Amino acid sequence: MPRQAYYRRLFLVGAIWNWVAAGTFVLGYRLIFPILGMAQPVYPVFFLMFLGLCFMFGNGYHWVSRDLTRNHGIVKLGIIGKLIVFGGLTWAGLTGQVHLILIVPGVVDLVFAVLYLGFLRNFTTPEV
């Protein structure tokens, strides 16, 4: 697969990942948390705002997928955000604050962060 097509798909899949993750928890956290043995958030507004930002980053990755030559700042912020999510979920899982299964989405975000870093290091703007 040509490099441009690979990166377009990477960012589209990243957008879908963020949209699905955010949507799943916005619509289902009241069911998902008890299944995982977790208490409901005391102030869900903060959790829901985080999910809103997660969804918005999905929009940013979609923009990058449509034009790989622009919006590299979104990619940089996304890398930082995904590393924070990985670190936060790993820490919370290992300290018993969340179910261990929630480390898995953190690992997925870590993989995306590494792949996005590869994009920033390897992508060159095609000649016009």
pLDDT recorded at residue 2? 86
| pLDDT in the model for residue 94 | 98
Total domains, the chain: 1
In a domain? residue 25: yes
Nearest-angstrom CA–CA distance, 125 and 128: 9
For the chain, the first-to-last Cα distance in angstroms comes to 21
- CA dihedral of 18, 102, 116, 12, whole degrees rounded to 10: -30
Do the domain assignments include residue 116? Answer: yes
Domain encompassing residue 90: 3-122
Cα 126 to Cα 70: distance, rounded to the nearest angstrom: 12
Per-residue model confidence as pLDDT tens for the chain (128 residues): 689 999 999 999 999 999 999 999 999 999 999 999 999 999 999 999 999 999 999 999 999 999 999 999 999 999 999 999 999 999 999 999 999 999 999 999 999 999 999 999 998 765 54
In a domain, 30, yes or no: yes
Give me the pLDDT at residue 128, please.
Answer: 45
CA atoms within 13 A on the CB side of 31: 5
| Measured distance CA(76)–CA(71) in Å, rounded | 9
Any domain includes 127? no
Tokens standing for residue 23: 């949507």
